[in-house]
């Protein structure tokens, strides 16, 4: 069971590494906040799992001296990227909400204009009927 867990851990590292490399090559990730966040998150996971693979291969004592420092850096970095992603989520949702509001406002204005145009046509028709 331990061997299976170790193999899966290494497979995850390879997957994160492949994604990070391919994404950095084929995507224009630097052009928008979501792309930058995806890249940062995947690169961070690659780094975290990379440290784990090194410890798995060389033994847990490899990082014993710097264990607490690495924990603070790793968990702090992960928290920063997750908070960044939450901020992006709120921005996207607020923009979508604003867009829906704008669309609804546009529909209402259009309906009001149509109603005014209809009233004007009816008024013109009534004047012609009286004449």
Domain range list for the chain: 2-130
Q: Would you say the C-alpha torsion 11, 14, 19, 22 has a positive or negative sign?
A: negative
Report CA 25 to chain centroid distance, whole Å. 19
Provide the b/e sequence for 1-19 (b: ≥16 CB within 10 Å).
eeeeeeeeeeeebeebbeb
User: What does each of the 131 residues of the chain score in pLDDT, given as a tens digit?
Assistant: 989 999 999 999 999 999 999 999 999 999 999 899 999 999 999 999 999 999 899 887 888 888 888 889 999 999 999 999 999 888 888 877 777 666 666 676 677 667 767 777 777 777 777 76
Q: How far apart are CA 102 and CA 116, in angstroms?
A: 21
């Amino acid at each position: 069971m331990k061997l299976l867990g170790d193999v899966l851990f290494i497979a995850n590292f390879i997957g994160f590494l492949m994604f990070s490399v391919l994404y950095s090559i084929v995507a224009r990730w630097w052009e928008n906040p979501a792309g930058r966040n995806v890249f940062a998150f995947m690169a961070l996971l690659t780094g975290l799992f990379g440290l784990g693979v090194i410890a798995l291969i060389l033994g847990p004592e490899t990082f014993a001296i710097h264990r607490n420092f690495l924990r603070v850096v790793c968990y702090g970095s992960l928290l920063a990227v997750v908070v960044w992603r939450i901020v992006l989520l709120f921005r996207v949702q607020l923009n979508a909400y604003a867009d829906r509001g704008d669309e609804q406002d546009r529909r209402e204005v259009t309906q009001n204009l149509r109603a005014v145009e209809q009233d004007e046509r009816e008024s013109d028709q009534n004047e012609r009927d009286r004449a």
